[in-house]
Copies of this chain bind each other. A is one copy, B any other.
Amino acid sequence: MVSIAIMGHGVVGSGVAEIITTHKNKLYTSIGEEVYIKRILDLREFPDSPLADRFTKNFEDIINDREIRIVVEVMGGINPAYDFVKRSLKAGKSVVTSNKELVAAKGAELLQIAKDNNANFLFEASVGGGIPIIRPMSQCLVANIVDEIAGILNGTTNFILTKMIDEGMDFDTALKLAQELGYAERNPEADVEGHDACRKICILASLAFGKHVYPEYVHTEGITKITLKDVKYAAAWGGVIKLIGKVKMLENGKMDIMVAPMLIPCKSQLANIDDVFNGIMVRGDCTGDVVFYGKGAGKLPTASAVVADVIDCCKHLKTRKYLFWTDGDSSNVIDYKDSVSSFYIRVKSDDKDAALQSAKELFGNISPIALDEYEGECAFVTEPLKYSDAENYVKALADKGYETLSMLRIGDL
């Protein structure tokens, strides 16, 4: 019997308890021992829970219990999760977490503490919910040199964009619907401003390239400025707008990493990932593109990924999994202004031909998007160029009277 503790009894935490209870036989078969939930930490009371006798409000009941070998952290947020996880690892207990904020902010430090104490620190559920991604990347694709990772990493924004694309709903209406359906928080900032996706691409980048990438190094744009007009122009171009978290290893050994809405061609495997689903593309030198698709959030998908990590810890109580990266600093990441991509640019213009002619003089080769639905404006796609150059040309275009209404990157995916 392996005794574990679960810290947090919210959506994911109650899901973990549920799966361990309902899938008892499946777990027994794969571990060869029973998993016993000895303690559940939560400040709230759950008198009607079948596990009511296991609840505690005091972390000391967990840290001081030598029988508890594995601690599941599903509280979310940095504090007090960070302190509790650190103390658990220092006590030699393995920790499993679904907390992307914690892993993105403190991953390198916690992995080092785990290593020093011969314990495991696993976080499959922190990216992609129920989609296997951390373990496939660290084990199955280990014989590859990963060049690039790009993904739709946030279900809420993908739901909103899908409603805009498929049903012509505007951003505010789609956000309201997402809130009504429970897909978006009342304060949706972490999702719609891209912070959630940013944490996830930080974790994937750290894992792939071995150095911790902190969220503050990563240029992050949300989807609040995306209009239905942009969606229509994207369709006329032959694509869709998706919020993409993306990291690419450049030849100079630095990472080009960002989160931003991008135009993706319809033929891309990421273009067909709709609603609350997530999809992650990993480009390896041997495998080529591999894509993982599934539910990126939700009680049972996320909880099942947590439980898979618990099982892995049970099988490796005495040995460490080789999941590790070292600390990193901002010198590993290029300035987003130096990042190169093609751009979709929509400008105000009463004379479309003149505007496109001016654009051509500045940007060089451009491809106008054939859509005549909207008066007083036009849109075009540039060749690949640096963001800083694009910014300068946009300014010059404005000086000529053609104000830019939107500018989005083209995702080469």
Number of copies: 2
B308–A23 CB distance below 8 A:
no
Chain A positions 5-46 with a Cβ under 8 Å from a chain B Cβ = 15, 19, 23, 26-27, 29-32
- Smallest Cβ-Cβ distance to A273: which chain B residue: B269
B303–A286 CB distance below 8 A:
yes
A140–B145 CB distance below 8 A:
no
Q: Does A76 contact B (CB under 8 A)?
A: no
Given the interface pairs A139-B308, A145-B23, the reply to whether A290 lies near B287 with Cβ below 8 Å is: no
CA distance A310 to B140 in the complex (A): 10
CA distance A307 to B142 in the complex (A): 8
Query: Shortest Cβ distance from A240 into chain B, in angstroms?
Result: 13
- A395: chain B residues within 8 A (beta carbon): none
Specify which of B19, B31, B286 is in contact with A301 (CB 8 Å cutoff). Answer: B286
Specify which of B30, B141, B294, B308 is in contact with A308 (CB 8 Å cutoff). Answer: B141
Chain A positions 281-297 with a Cβ under 8 Å from a chain B Cβ = 284-295
A141–B132 CB distance below 8 A:
yes
Q: Does A405 contact B (CB under 8 A)?
A: no
- A141: chain B residues within 8 A (beta carbon): 132, 304, 308
B290–A131 CB distance below 8 A:
yes
A143–B304 CB distance below 8 A:
yes
- Smallest Cβ-Cβ distance to A304: which chain B residue: B286
Q: How many residues of A contact B (CB 8 A)?
A: 51
Q: Does A155 contact B (CB under 8 A)?
A: no
Specify which of B29, B142, B306 is in contact with A26 (CB 8 Å cutoff). Answer: B142
Given the interface pairs A269-B272, A308-B143, the reply to whether A30 lies near B286 with Cβ below 8 Å is: no
Binds B, one of A107-115, A174-182, A311-319, A369-377: A311-319
Chain A positions 350-409 with a Cβ under 8 Å from a chain B Cβ = none
- A29: chain B residues within 8 A (beta carbon): 210
Chain A positions 192-219 with a Cβ under 8 Å from a chain B Cβ = 210
A27–B143 CB distance below 8 A:
yes
A301–B288 CB distance below 8 A:
yes
B290–A293 CB distance below 8 A:
yes
Query: Shortest Cβ distance from A121 into chain B, in angstroms?
Result: 17
- Smallest Cβ-Cβ distance to A300: which chain B residue: B286
- A301: chain B residues within 8 A (beta carbon): 286-288
B30–A307 CB distance below 8 A:
no
Q: Which residues of A contact B (CB under 8 A)?
A: 15, 19, 23, 26-27, 29-32, 124, 130-132, 135-136, 139-145, 210, 269, 272, 284-295, 300-301, 303-308, 310-312, 315, 319, 322
8 more A-B residue pairs beyond the given contacts A130-B286, A287-B304, with a C-beta to C-beta distance below 8 A: A30-B142, A131-B287, A132-B139, A140-B305, A286-B303, A288-B295, A290-B292, A319-B319
Q: List 5 A-B contacts (CB under 8 A).
A: A23-B144, A30-B142, A142-B308, A272-B272, A286-B301
